[in-house]
Amino acid sequence: MTVRITVEQERTPRRILVEGRLSALEVGELEGVVGDDPGAVCLELSNLRSVDAAALAALRRLRGAGVEMRGAFPHLAWQIEDDKP
């Protein structure tokens, strides 16, 4: 499995589960699922195993746009929070 993106909750805030390995190939899909109201979205990252550089940059952009993120492994959480490439 590369990545599985599942919208678990259709109401606000929408809970989106991201599982597996997120890469540049799936960034567009993730951004499409998040949509135009990032403040109304919570990404559940407890089953996200790895990200490549493009996916990490996308997660940083989404966080900066107001997407809530929960459950990321500590090594991933600090990378998302770190603004330096």
- pLDDT tens per residue across span 8-33: 876 778 999 999 999 999 999 999 99
Spatial CB neighbours of 79, under 8 Å, sequence gap ≥ 6? 51, 56
Q: pLDDT digits over 57-68, tens only?
A: 999 999 999 999
Q: pLDDT-based confidence at 84, cuts 50/70/90?
A: low
pLDDT recorded at residue 11: 73
As for how many domains the chain has, the answer is 1
What CATH number has the domain bearing residue 71?
A: 3.30.750.24
What is the extent of the structural domain holding 21? 3-81
Local structure of 52: helix, strand or coil: coil
C-alpha dist (Å) from residue 14 to 8, 25, 67, 68, 80: 7, 23, 10, 10, 20
Output the CA torsion sign for 41, 45, 51, 56: positive
Statement: residue 85 has pLDDT above 60? no
